[in-house]
Every structure is written in structure tokens, then in C-alpha cells.
Amino acid sequence: MNKTEQIREIVFESLKKLGAEEEIGDFANPSMDTRIRKHLDSMGVVALAVDLEELYEDLFDSSVKILNEEEANFMSNFETAETLVKYIDGL
């Protein structure tokens, strides 16, 4: 499994977990087309990002900062699972 596929798996895992906690049915079986922002407020985005940072660090033994509020359009990275995977893969 390459790095992008591994990132996709941790994004899906995190979405499933958050979906179960917040009762978001669309996150139960995520795909690359799963829409994220339409279901999450800012606190939900923060919770997802923190979980992803922890999963990323466990998997790759390296830290990553997913929330970058200095980047003007950083929220666009949370539109879909695909945009989030691409964003994380590019960090």
C-alpha cells in the first residue's frame, strides 16, 4: 500500500469514528466522494483534524499539522474525503 492509500485509510477510519460519535450516517461507509464540510461545524473539523494528526503520527512516525488557519482557503481541504486525502498527502 502506498502513502496515498494509507492516508485514505486513516481518513476513512477517522470519518467512521467521528460519524459514530456524532451520528453522521454519511460517514459510516466513507468513499472519496464523501462530503465532509456539509456535516461538520468548526469544532467537528478540529476534532477530525486532531484525530487525523494522531493517526498519521502513529502510522508514519512523523508529525503533521493539518489545520493551517494562516492559509486563506484551508477549509476547502475539508470539502470531501478526496480533497482531504490530497491535502494531507501534499504536506
- Residues 1-42 have pLDDT tens digits of 999 999 999 999 999 999 999 999 999 999 999 999 999 998
Are the C-beta atoms of 81 and 33 separated by less than 8 Å?
yes
How many domains does the chain contain in total?
A: 1
pLDDT band at 69 (very low <50, low <70, confident <90, very high): confident
- CATH number of the domain bearing residue 66: 1.10.1200
Residue 72: per-residue pLDDT: 65
Q: How confident is the model at residue 71 (pLDDT cuts 50, 70, 90)?
A: confident
10: containing domain: 3-89
Contacts of residue 89, defined as CB under 8 A and 6 or more positions apart, other chains included, come to 3, 4, 7
Task: Give me the chain's average pLDDT, please.
Answer: 94
